[in-house]
Amino acid sequence: MKRRYWLIAFLILQLANTEVAGQLLPNIEIINALKESDRHIANGKSHLALVQLHQVLQTKEAVTDQSILSHLYNNLAIVLARYNNFTAAMACFYKAGSVESKYNATKRGKRYISFFSTNSNYENKIKENIVNDEILELMVQDQINQKELERTEEFESELIQTASIVEAFLDQKEATHYALALLIKQPIPGQKNTNTGLGEVGHSFISLIKYNKDQSAVCKTFGFYPEEGQLIPVNPLMPKANSVIKNDAYHTWDQLLGKFVSKEQFEKVLEYIDHNIDNEYHLSDYNCSDFALTIAQLSSIQIENTVGNWPLGKGDNPGYIGQSILAGKYTNLDSKTKEGLFTCSNNLFTKTKK
């Protein structure tokens, strides 16, 4: 009789082990694929990373560990941001739940040649109610079909009607989430410089996103510029000009800092844009960085040490803002911590072959 019980117990144990092994095997393959995507992200090989992540996304139903899913969505957020697909990137950041960021850099002299974020301590907070995975898969496949992560310097930001930004969000659709991304193009990536010495000062700009209940989304990416065509361009001696707004959807960037915001915060941002978007441009007092930082502040994002000096002037500037983001000198004022903020760097400025 005892032998019979032992035999039954042994068979039950074998079945349990077989089931566990069946669950672990796909997870191990997925973990290895995610590690491979980590390496591609670190080296700026966004296309290869996206191919790996797309494969994991297609097999995610086999995943039993929520931290693996969090890792997947966080990596997707980084790569999709590098494709300037901020709608998908912020949605993936939301799906990833809470993660703890760590930063790694490789320096060559004073210059960061590779700067990226990795993550640890994934929490089991997978959130699905923003963009469903069927739509996300289509977005990812569309990016893969481009084959290469194209540099966007060749795309000139075009003038847009200032009223069109606010009007785009008045789509009469019920919203589920709102997000914002602050994007920084430094004069010299990875360096705390206000300019290159050859007139290039960088750029700060904003991406606003509204996610709707019907799974549609509205995204506007734009920046504040001095009007061109003047006899003498804006300079420290003549710092004023009329302002214009340009579509920066294809503008390159080095650092990104994003956050989901409340409806009230989003409406405050739209109100500010509506009333201040035609303000006069001033190189020291109200430039592209002042405009972008004010919108970030209305969204409860605080960034330290954003003011730098240049000949005959000083003020907020992309070089200093970018370095503060790299150094983690920012706070989510809603939580009084860094929690709830998405940050990543765009390795387009590295010398690594894509």
d(CA 72, CA 41): 12
pLDDT at position 260: 96
pLDDT at position 109: 54
pLDDT at position 183: 98
Residue type, 124: N
User: What is the DSSP-derived secondary structure letter of residue 161?
Assistant: -
User: Would you call 188 helix, strand, or coil by DSSP?
Assistant: coil
User: Would you call 4 helix, strand, or coil by DSSP?
Assistant: helix
d(CA 322, CA 296): 14
| Residue keyed to tokens 């191990």 | 28
pLDDT tens-digit profile, the chain (354 residues)? 545 555 444 444 444 443 433 344 457 888 899 999 999 998 888 889 999 999 998 888 877 778 888 899 999 999 999 999 999 999 999 988 855 555 455 555 554 444 444 444 334 344 556 878 888 888 888 888 876 545 544 578 999 988 899 999 999 999 999 999 999 999 999 888 888 877 789 999 999 999 999 999 999 999 999 988 776 777 787 878 999 999 999 999 999 999 999 999 999 999 999 988 888 999 899 999 999 999 999 999 999 999 998 888 899 999 999 999 999 999 999 999 999 999 999 855 444 333
Closest alpha carbon to 345 in 112, 116, 23, 74: 116
Whole-structure pTM value: 0.84
User: Would you call 284 helix, strand, or coil by DSSP?
Assistant: coil
Say if CB 269 and CB 309 are below 8 A apart: no
- Whole-angstrom CA distances from 151 to 105, 106, 112, 318 are 22, 22, 19, 20
102 phi, psi to nearest 5 deg: -125, 150
User: Which value, to the nearest 10 degrees, does the dihedral of the CA atoms of residues 64, 67, 73, 75 take?
Assistant: -120
Pairing of strands 240-241, 281-282: antiparallel
Beta bridge partners of 341: 259
pLDDT at position 25: 43
